[in-house]
Amino acid sequence: MKPLKRPVRRGLLVAHVAVSVSWLGLTVGLLALGITAFATGDSATVGAATRAMKIFGDWLVVPVALLALVSGLVLALGTPWGLARHRWVWTKFWLTLITTGLSVFSLRPGIDAAAAENAVDINLVIAPSVATATYLFITAISILKPWGLTRRGRRLRFSASSAKSVDARSPRQTA
C-alpha cells in the first residue's frame, strides 16, 4: 500500500484512537450494566439493564468494533510500522480481530438472549470483563511498543540496510 500523507495519517490516527477509546468505554458501560443486572434481585432493574445492553449491542458494538479494526488496519498498512513488521502491531491486529469476532458472534447473541428472557447469567459479566482487560492491554502495547521486530520485519530491515550500504560503496548505479 502507498504510504499515507501526513495530514491523512494524522487524521486517521485521531479517528482510530477516538474509536478505540469509544470501544473501551462502551465495554466498560456493558460491564457496569451486566454487573448491575447480575447482582440485583429486582426484575425491573434486570429488564432495564438488559434492554440498555441490547441497545448498546444492536447499535454500537459492531460499528465501533469494525471501525477500530479497519482504521487500525489502514494505519498499519499505510505507515512504516507495517502490519507484520513489529510484534506489537501484529499482536494488536490479532487481538482486535478476535475481539471483534467475539463481539459479533458471542457477546451480541448473549445480550439478545438476556434481554428476551429478562435474566442475566455470569457470562454477561465475564465477557465485558475480559474484553475490557484486552482493550487495556492493547492500549498499553500501543503506547509501550514492546517486543521488537518480527522475523519479516528483521528481514526487511536487513535487506534495506544492505542495499543502502552496497549502493553507498559502489560508484556505479545498481539495479
pLDDT tens digits, one per residue of 23-37: 999 999 999 999 999
Q: What is the mean pLDDT of residues 101-108?
A: 95
Instruction: Identify the three-state secondary structure at position 149.
Output: strand
Cell for 86? 513489529
What pLDDT does residue 149 have?
A: 87
Q: Which pTM value belongs to this model?
A: 0.85
Contact 111, 77 (CB under 8 A): no
Q: What is the mean pLDDT of residues 34-49?
A: 95
Q: What is the mean pLDDT of residues 7-36?
A: 97
Cell for 6? 501526513
What is the C-alpha to C-alpha distance for residues 3 and 74, in angstroms, rounded to an integer? 10
Among 10-14, 76-80, 127-131, 161-165, which is the least confidently predicted range?
161-165
Helical spans, DSSP H, in the chain: 6-39, 43-56, 62-78, 87-102, 108-117, 123-144, 151-169
